[in-house]
Amino acid sequence: MSALKAATPPGEEAGAPADFSARRWQAPAGLQHRHDARVHQLSGETMGTNWSLRLANPEFASLDGARASVQSVLDLVIAQMSNWERDSLISRFNGLPPGGEMALPGEFAQVLDAAMHWAGRSGGAIDPTMGALVSLWGFGPRPDPMAPHAGIPPESAVIDEQLAGAGFARMPWAPGQRHLVQPGGLRLDLCGIAKGFAVDRVAEALALQGWTGGLFEIGGELRGWGEKPDGKDWQIRVGTADSAPEAMVVGMRDGALATSGDLWHHFLVDGKRYSHTIDPRTGRPVEHALASVTVHHAECMHADALATVLTVLGLREGMEFAVANDIAAVFREHADEGWVAIGNPLPQAIVTPAWKARFAS
């Protein structure tokens, strides 16, 4: 998913919305939300990116409990679903011999259930069994997750071999299932949905603690609840460039936003751009002109998965899928082949009917 952030960049005007534009991701973490002293912020690092929390705190209560809740959820998700941890539950499953079985905790089962649901619904545009292919393309676990990509595309024969051994159809699954059987050589990867699940769990935990309003995001996947201390919606800037007129600002009290796209994760070889988004149906990076897709959903886990689905499908198929499934989404395409140039105009946003209905001014 995209490397975006919700912290206010330095020098931004007072009262500005949370910023979801790509290039502002480079602003330092932990900046204070300055336009209202009753909104307090925490931040940190997780899953190869940053997290940020804003809480409506008119009583100026201690944030120690909130920080502990955030860390507890993140630790749980990493321990179960991180391919970057050798002793995580998902890594242990990936290493099982053919026929090996594993009991699943509720959290893992919930995430896998959602991933398998959207895999079937989308015809395989998202597939949690693509771990080997993700690694083959160099987007899987590596010593420094923030280091530049090696930029070496794999051989077609190797891609096809790995693709033949993957596919969600190889792993029988029923809703509510709480165990897995390793069919042999299958490597799960839940990165396209686990981060959104973590966002949901943190937001829900903080609401149960009594925090009546807040925004929590991990690397740009965000969920909000309640309202700001002034009674207004949380303001979120959704865009892919620095220019404020080209960005889209939405107000949100309850719900989640997730963005996928290759503006943030890609590599170039001989002038060709290779996206980090692998099409599970071909085993190769998507090649259409989509720059980013942002999805709104009640739950960040589903927004996260659907942003990946729509990115893989591309504008035409993605729009058809979004309309058929009443998905609130906004698409942006690359303006032209010179999209990487500084100051390149941002393409016009293309929104679904559900997005228009949800965020009608």
Confirm whether residue 192 is marked as ligand binding: yes
| Alpha-carbon span 291 to 3, nearest angstrom | 13
Instruction: Please say whether the beta carbons of 215 and 53 come within 8 A.
Output: yes
Please tell me the distance from the alpha carbon of residue 127 to that of residue 89, in angstroms, as a whole number.
18
User: Does the annotation place 308 within a ligand binding site?
Assistant: yes
H or E element that contains 307: helix 300-324
Cα-trace Rg, the chain: 20
8 is in an annotated binding site: no
Q: How far apart are the first and last CA of the chain?
A: 28
**Contact 328/354 with Cβ under 8 angstroms?**
yes
CA pair distance 108, 98, nearest whole angstrom: 21
Looking up tokens 């149906």, which residue turns up? 281
Residue with tokens 């309003």: 213
- Bind-site residues: 192, 304, 308
Please give the annotated binding residues for Mg(2+), written as ranges: 192, 304, 308
